[in-house]
Amino acid sequence: MTKKQPVFYGWWIVLGLFAIDAVASLGRYNLAAFLPFIMDEMGWGRETISLAQSIAIWLYALSVVLSGVLVDRIGSRKTFLMGGAITILGWALFSIVQAPWQLYLCYGVLLALAVGMTHYVPVMATIRKWFVKRAGVVAGVTGSAWALGNAIFMPVMTGMAASQGWRHTSLVLGICFGALIILCALFVVRDTPESVGLRPDGEISAPSVDPAASIEISWDVKRALKTSQFLLLFLTYSVYNIGLNGLAAHGVTWGTELGCPEATAGIFSTAFAVPWIVGCVAGGWLGDRYGKTNVMPVGLIIATAAMLYGGLGVHSQQGLMALSIGVGFGTGLQVPLYAALLGDLFGRARVGSLFGILTFGYGLIGGWGPLIWATLREATGSYNDAALLSTVCYAMAAVALLLVRPMKVRGGT
């Protein structure tokens, strides 16, 4: 009689990281949800607030380099614990800001650090350490968590802000979200399968006829950074996020300008997030089945077409809904595959560091998105030109990704 194998602990890791990522990113998107209310109360203009959003993305870019290294050096569990504590502090201080410099400090620095240590880079790096054969689909499922969190909580945040005030909403939700991250880190998250006596994907090790075949690929970070594959991925991930960050920061406000009440304008974030979830899950499965570099450009092409429609055809709430759905699905189709692809190309050991550096480009270049969108909105009176510029960004990213080829020579440290 065959002994029944226990459930692979990696699936509990997926569950814990899904819960963390569902709330972690809200430290970045809370300002988008509260934007109309802050403008009304404080009298600050779009450019003042959008500068805070850009600063947050730039500082996030630096923090993910740190968090990627921390995941590789001290482990995921400690990284998430520190990030959860900073989450509570950042949301609490954000709720009492009275001047732009305080906004830049609390939101642009503290919450950027909190998000960097709890959202996406440490999540995807941890997943890639636990899974190899199923890396794409597992990353797709886990990577959809933040979109589900946005779909659920963005309308909650706008509704609570309308009824109870954005400051009270920030304080209460920040404490809840930070506590959830800390609890998951303490009781669920573990660093690697090897740290608990397991192997990736739950496989049972077997003797290898060829000892060299059992040696896992492991590239040195400096060497990997010099490859054309990494440079193209860096360009791709950096450029398209100009458009993505711009839409994410201004989607709610664009909706209010098209006549949607402030209390329900979070629905546009939901319209963006739900297709993202579908795209992430589908992209992860398709990437494992048909090849990551075959699937990822398709997603960027879909998002490019949606942004083009946004620049030429969005003049109503229904049009903004269609834009949000197209960009959300197209971007979601390819975004969970970056960490998995890095692991395929360069190995698991330093995937946290490499994905952190890749995401640094997202912030360094993509961080201009909110400010560019705000500037073009003030100059032209609408967001359509910002969507047209974002079309170019997505198209450039698609071309760069199409040029990525498999490694011809795989090297070690």
What is the rounded distance in angstroms from the CA atom of residue 185 to the CA atom of residue 12?
12
Whether pLDDT at 28 is above 70: yes
The model's pLDDT over 55-91, given as tens digits with 9 standing for 90+, comes to 888 888 889 889 989 998 999 999 999 999 999 999 9
* Predicted local confidence at residue 151, as pLDDT: 80
Summarize the confidence of residues 366-376 as an average pLDDT.
Answer: 89
Whether pLDDT at 359 is above 60: yes
* Predicted local confidence at residue 86, as pLDDT: 97
How far is CA 107 from each of CA 54, 92, 158, 251, 253, rounded to the nearest angstrom? 10, 10, 18, 19, 19
Cβ–Cβ < 8 Å for 288, 136? yes
Whether pLDDT at 107 is above 60: yes
* Predicted local confidence at residue 213, as pLDDT: 41
Whether pLDDT at 209 is above 50: no
Q: CATH topology for 10-195+217-402?
A: Growth Hormone; Chain: A; (1.20.1250)
Summarize the confidence of residues 380-403 as an average pLDDT.
Answer: 95
- Report the 10 Å Cβ neighbour count for 42: 15
The model's pLDDT over 242-292, given as tens digits with 9 standing for 90+, comes to 999 899 888 888 998 999 887 777 788 788 888 988 999 999 999 989 999
* Predicted local confidence at residue 57, as pLDDT: 82
What is the rounded distance in angstroms from the CA atom of residue 287 to the CA atom of residue 118?
25
Q: What percent of the chain has pLDDT over 70?
A: 94
Cβ–Cβ < 8 Å for 233, 361? no
Angle at CA of residue 177, ends 176 and 181, nearest 5°: 120
What is the rounded distance in angstroms from the CA atom of residue 232 to the CA atom of residue 260?
40
Residue (of 99, 79, 83) closest to 91 by Cα position: 83
Ramachandran angles phi, psi of 7, nearest 5°:
-65, 130
97-101, 170-174, 373-377, 409-413: lowest mean pLDDT where?
Answer: 409-413
Residue 387 banded pLDDT, cuts 50, 70, 90: very high
Structure tokens at 87: 């989450």
Cβ–Cβ < 8 Å for 400, 320? no
Residue 5 banded pLDDT, cuts 50, 70, 90: low
Mean model confidence pLDDT for the chain: 88
* Predicted local confidence at residue 50, as pLDDT: 79
Ramachandran angles phi, psi of 4, nearest 5°:
-70, 130
- Cα pseudo-dihedral 290, 294, 296, 300, rounded to 10: -130
The model's pLDDT over 303-328, given as tens digits with 9 standing for 90+, comes to 999 999 999 989 999 999 999 999 99
* Predicted local confidence at residue 330, as pLDDT: 96
